[in-house]
C-alpha cells in the first residue's frame, strides 16, 4: 500500500470520471484532497470523507488565472501546504481542421495546456522537496490522429511542459510526471464509444481488447504521487491497453 498520510492534494476536474477516481484513490491511501471543477464536486467530497479524509470543493475554471489563484489560496488557508497537484481537467473537441474556429482552438489550448501551466506555476510557489505534480495528458500527446488538431496539440504540449518543469524543479526535489491514457470510459468519451462501428474500430487497435476504466489511471497517479516513484521525474506513463505498442 502506498503511504500518502499527511499529504495534501489538489485534483482538477475531479467532479467525475478520471479526476474523481484519482481524488478518491489518493484519499484511500491517506491524502486530504481538494476537489475542483467547473461543475459541482460535492459527490467526490462525500466519497473522500467516507474514507475519513478531509476534503472540500472549490469551483474553478482553470483557464482563468484569478480562479486558480483563489483555488491555491483556499487550499493553503485550509491545509497550509500543497504536496500533490494532479492536472486533470480537460476538454475534447473533434472536428475537421477546416471547420475549427479560432474560439474552439483557443478554448482547447486554454484549458488543456495553459490551465496546466497556470495551476503548476501557482502551486509551485508553495510546493517543497518531496512534492509531486502529475499531468494527465493522452496518447494524443504522443501520436496524432485526424480531426483533433487542437486536442493533439494541447496534449503534446502537456507532454513537453511536463519535461520542462521536471528539468527545472528536479534540483529542488519536486517531481513532475505525465500520464497518457488511451481509450477510457468517461463522460468525455461516452458519445464516441456509443457508436458501434467506432467502438469496434477502437477495440481492434488494442491488444487487450477492452477499453479502460478511470481506476486504471488512478492507480498510476497514486504511484506517481508516492515515494515509491521517488526516482521518477519527466517520465510519460502510457496506459492505453497496448494501443501504442502496435504502431
Quick: pLDDT tens for 2-22. Answer: 999 999 999 999 999 999 999
In-domain check, residue 178:
yes
For residue 42, give the CATH number of its domain. Answer: 3.40.50.720
Residue 193 has pLDDT above 80, yes or no: no
3-state secondary structure of 136: strand
Q: Which cell is 242 given?
A: 497496448
Enzyme catalytic residues: 151
Contacts of 171 (CB under 8 A, 6+ apart): none
In-domain check, residue 235:
yes
Instruction: Specify the pLDDT at position 247.
Output: 80
Domain total in the chain: 1
Is residue 180 within 8 A of residue 191, CB to CB? The reply is: no
Q: Report which of residues 247 and 21 the model is more confident about.
A: 21
In-domain check, residue 201:
no
Instruction: Specify the pLDDT at position 16.
Output: 97
In-domain check, residue 31:
yes
Instruction: Give the structural domain span for 12.
Output: 8-185+213-240
The residue with cell 456509443 is: 194
Percent of the chain with pLDDT over 90: 88
Amino acid at each position: 500500500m502506498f503511504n500518502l498520510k499527511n499529504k495534501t492534494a489538489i485534483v482538477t476536474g475531479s467532479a467525475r470520471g478520471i479526476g474523481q477516481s484519482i481524488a478518491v484513490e489518493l484519499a484511500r491511501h491517506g491524502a486530504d484532497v481538494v476537489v475542483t471543477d467547473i461543475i459541482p464536486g460535492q459527490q467526490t467530497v462525500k466519497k473522500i470523507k467516507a474514507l475519513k479524509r478531509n476534503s472540500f470543493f472549490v469551483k474553478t475554471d482553470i483557464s482563468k488565472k484569478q480562479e486558480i489563484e483563489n483555488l491555491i489560496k483556499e487550499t493553503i488557508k485550509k491545509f497550509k501546504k500543497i504536496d500533490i497537484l494532479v492536472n486533470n481537467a480537460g476538454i475534447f473537441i473533434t472536428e475537421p481542421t477546416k471547420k475549427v474556429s479560432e474560439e474552439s482552438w483557443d478554448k482547447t489550448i486554454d484549458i488543456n495546456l495553459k490551465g496546466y501551466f497556470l495551476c503548476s506555476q501557482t502551486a509551485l510557489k508553495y510546493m517543497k522537496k518531496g512534492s509531486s505534480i502529475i499531468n494527465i495528458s493522452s496518447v494524443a500527446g504522443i501520436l496524432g490522429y485526424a480531426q483533433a488538431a487542437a486536442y493533439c496539440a494541447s496534449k503534446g504540449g502537456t507532454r513537453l511542459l511536463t519535461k520542462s518543469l521536471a528539468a527545472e524543479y528536479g534540483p529542488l526535489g519536486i517531481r513532475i510526471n505525465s500520464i497518457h491514457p488511451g481509450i477510457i470510459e468517461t463522460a468525455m468519451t461516452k458519445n464516441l464509444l456509443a457508436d458501434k462501428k467506432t467502438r469496434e474500430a477502437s477495440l481492434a487497435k488494442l491488444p487487450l481488447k477492452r477499453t479502460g476504466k478511470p481506476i486504471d489511471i488512478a492507480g498510476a497517479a497514486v504511484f506517481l504521487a508516492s515515494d515509491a516513484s521517488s526516482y521518477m521525474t519527466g517520465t510519460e506513463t502510457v496506459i492505453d491497453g497496448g494501443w501504442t505498442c502496435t504502431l
